[in-house]
Structure 1
């Protein structure tokens, strides 16, 4: 009997354990979902297929460099040839015939061609290939960098919408409470229908705005999930805090830092290096090339009388190729390279000028947004005090419902403006980080 009870108890414990595991598993899965901006960006950089495509394409540059370096290595080819010749070429001596070459000719062998010296032409081509690889890497790094900041901007949009919904919810709660008070007064014969209708209009307007915000929130969450490979939804996401500092940055110091870390500047410099290496290549088109040539093999047709016997043969030698006249192609190509190099210099200057301009403009925006954030906090505090006073006076019948609704609207307006100013400051400082080349997602 005791044994049977123990078995029943064990079965209950086992069933309870299974149910507990099933209950815990979704919670664990949800807790593993990255929620911080840094975690989302890291996941997005590893997930987004377009970035993966660009990263894979970087391997092509390695192959191109190897192809260029292969010019330093010998070229070995194996050739085999058969040829039938007609008519026969022969001479008759004393009633006999002596052929000068066989009608069926065979030739098989291995040939080697090795570059000995080309006055730096191949070296310049190798350097250009390396510079092109660096340019591709810089472009990929710039694309990944800007993609990370795109994720950050979507993240800030979601915070802005969430905070706006919270402000609307607070207004809806206040309006609902006001509506209950007016309903009670009407039932007691001391309220008027106009106050109830006015409050209901305000309440409906707030509900409609919340519905629009929720729709916008859903779209931004879909965008975030698409870019990062996450699976957030409007009920589980809870981004509610902006990342900003109440301090003013220096345009000169940020521009100085950006000179070495801005990804667009890095790409522009790499582009100029590619143009410089191309210019160096075209400067050497006049240079001769010295090559070693050799081969070994077997063929027939060496000696009269045994023309069909295969004989071993070899040859060694050197060849010098000197460009003398190319119809002006080399000169024109060199002129094109000089123009391209000059264009990349102008492009680098333009990127640097625009970078400085963007930094200065964002510094100006940062100062304005910072002052507005500080001032808006005072406005919210004052609007809240005014609403508290209006609620008290309304309950005592000192002010009308219209005056109470105005106080409620003023508080909502102050909160919305505060959210907007915080959003502007956070977005501006995020852009300053992008211009500086800060990889915020790698910061511990």
Structure 2
């Protein structure tokens, strides 16, 4: 039986194409939702972009008829703009009807009383779902882009190797495997002395690669656990164009990505430049507008990247400019920027760019939507490698959660592709204090 779905503005700002995702069911958009979306359309951030796209999609539907009367959707259902027809007293006494949320709730409650079909309010706003439930309105989260990742232990496969195969791995760092393997998958084998060897299947799935071959190290950084061994192998494999590193704080995601990038950009010259970026989403209360030029404004948001770079480069502290006019001593980071081997950018300016022959690191990628991640990956030009780093348990974006974010979306959609590899790091290596705190607090 067909259902009626009432969409909140948070759904359309999260996915501008949400009206097309409800199959043959009817979709209702309260008029107040249009007003809320219109108020966001002039913003220059991702919310403003989503608002503009949502309005364009609704404008195209006008070609199918009057939105107030209902227009046919490709999936078989209908979409209709609903006026705020609520009766006095439909909500609890003293409810402020000037609030957009209350007007949406009133529309949903009116429709539920009028319709013989099931009426469901769809919203990304947790508080809105709680209020709807208190009023007896059926409510759901927007599930279209939600994914469920398998358990970490289910992603790691164990292989049994013969003694001659182990010897060949030590000598040649790789062996041909007797059957087809999933590409770029993490494997382990346990030897007779209980030693564990980290292995990765090749992009074509025909070989097993020993991850510590020739004492794998990047910029003097060596792996401290088996997950980091898998990560470094994928980061250094030029055939793997997209690497997804997921794990809790302190597991070494950003450090390994930067170390590998410096090694391949500065030493090996496989890439013209290393480009580092992260979404501009503050943790806790925002401090407002920051003074200065673009570099000065984004520096506080990019500080974690600078911290890791300073650790890797062992940069000397800059001396204060002396009154005699002696020039300031440039740090190693500034030298790399000056030589155009390093670029630190904000994702706001990445749209429309074509980025060839770069080693591109996107930190805190869990705060990106599926659409934003797609936009970033499609910027990659010839010879570019992209590394995504993030933790789905540390999401600061108001409309994203563990099952609905760009990092999990990529892991779900691209697993098994020859150009894609992912490692889920577990063990914290930042410090004993950080590891214990992460486990106990």
TM-score, normalized by the shorter chain, greater than 0.5: no
Question: Of the two, which has the highest radius of gyration?
Answer: 1
TM-score normalized by the length of structure 1: 0.18
Higher relative strand content: 2
TM-score normalized by the length of structure 2: 0.18
